[in-house]
Amino acid sequence: MTPRSISRRFAVGGGLALFASPVISSPVLAQHAGHGPVYERLNQPGRIDVPAIAAEQRVFDSIAPKAPQQGRWIERAPLPLPRTEMAWAAERNGKLHLVGGYAEQRVDKPYHHIYDAASNSWLQAQDLPLGANHVGVAVLDGRLYALGGFVDQNRRPHAECFVYGAEGERWSKIAPLPTPMGAMGCIAYEGRIHAVGGADGDTAEARLSRSQHIVYDPKTDKWSNAAPLPTARDHIGIVANAGLIHVIGGRVNSFYTNSHLHHTYDAKEDAWRMRNPLPTARSGHGATLYRGQIFCMGGEGSNRVFGQNEAYNPTTDRWLAYAPMATPRHGMGAVTIGDAIYVAGGGPVMGGGVKSAVHEAFTLA
């Protein structure tokens, strides 16, 4: 079989330097310059302008003290098509990977897009073998893992797992999850993949958050159990730093009951510990380590789409507020490449009814 891992390059402004793009100095309700409409409804084809309700749902103010240096958001090449509920993004070999999610009036798309920051352009790689939304992703030893996800709209999870890069630039099947699950937080840590929290259930009424914490060992292709998350939740932010796994925010069964909880996991003790809570309780947000701090941005709540961009300093156990997102979104991921955080796609209004191709980067440079 000949892999089609990177089948074609999208012509979306390749070769631009990061700081040559427009700086977005303040939150605006507008289209990205020169690209036309970058939004689409889930139930109707065709590009649209940003819905008016987005202006009512966007919130930016944080209760955290303001950082002395606020940073700035910069417009980047938009996604090839509007997408949301990929849930998370992953960085592999200096590139951003997005798999699965909602796109083109489906909630089970297998799309796999790769962003090259050096050329400010998108690539299309081999599709995920099983289309789904809220797929857990992590990168370990240069390989991209895609774990579980929902095959219906935020429900009906599956247990299938795949790895990209173990046999060339293509997907391979690995051991399935012990239990079907979607919206897990997944992270590489000490040579294994940790999958934390998540939700199951085949209907909206039966969909419940879980406290599971399972660990995949690629050497044995097996899953094992670890200490469960103290409070069951899904749509969390997850980051590994200085020998600890941080699990931040998320929802307990629904975005109507978002959490600001912040726990760290120590594998040596197989135990969780409370940390200073996230200032803005939210779920479906991005989380990434940048300049030694854990930045959390975006997310959603009850009639809210958050633009807050808050960073946690593990040394001081303190949160600070930085420049909020220019375009608040949820159901997306955030990755650090070089000296910037990249946030692509996501929903501009509460729920999954509208998708976006918006792509913006945050930098303190």
User: Residue 254 corresponds to which amino acid?
Assistant: S
pLDDT tens for the chain, 365 residues: list them: 333 333 333 434 443 455 555 555 444 434 455 568 999 999 999 999 999 999 999 999 999 999 999 999 999 999 999 999 997 899 999 999 999 999 999 999 999 999 999 999 999 999 999 999 999 999 999 999 999 999 999 999 999 999 999 999 999 999 999 999 999 999 999 999 999 999 999 987 778 999 999 999 999 999 999 999 999 999 999 999 999 999 999 999 999 999 999 999 999 999 999 999 999 999 999 999 999 999 999 999 999 999 999 999 999 999 999 999 999 999 998 999 999 999 999 999 999 999 999 999 999 99
Q: Please give the model's pTM, rounded to 2 decimal places.
A: 0.93
pLDDT in tens, 273-307: 999 999 999 999 999 999 999 999 999 999 999 99
pLDDT of residue 333: 87
315: number of CA atoms within 13 Å, CB side? 3
The domain spans of the chain are: 35-363
Closest CA to 151 of 186, 109, 210: 109
Closest CA to 348 of 34, 17, 22, 38: 38
Phi then psi for residue 45, to 5 deg, are -75, 160
User: Residue 99 corresponds to which amino acid?
Assistant: V
Number of alpha helices (DSSP H) and beta strands (DSSP E) in the chain: 1, 36
pLDDT in tens, 318-347: 999 999 999 999 999 899 999 999 999 999
Alpha carbons 51 and 40: distance in angstroms, whole number: 10
Phi then psi for residue 161, to 5 deg, are -135, 150
Q: Are 356 and 84 in contact (CB under 8 A)?
A: yes
Of the candidate CATH numbers 3.60.15.10, 2.120.10.80, 3.40.50.620, 3.40.50.1000, the domain formed by 35-363 belongs to: 2.120.10.80
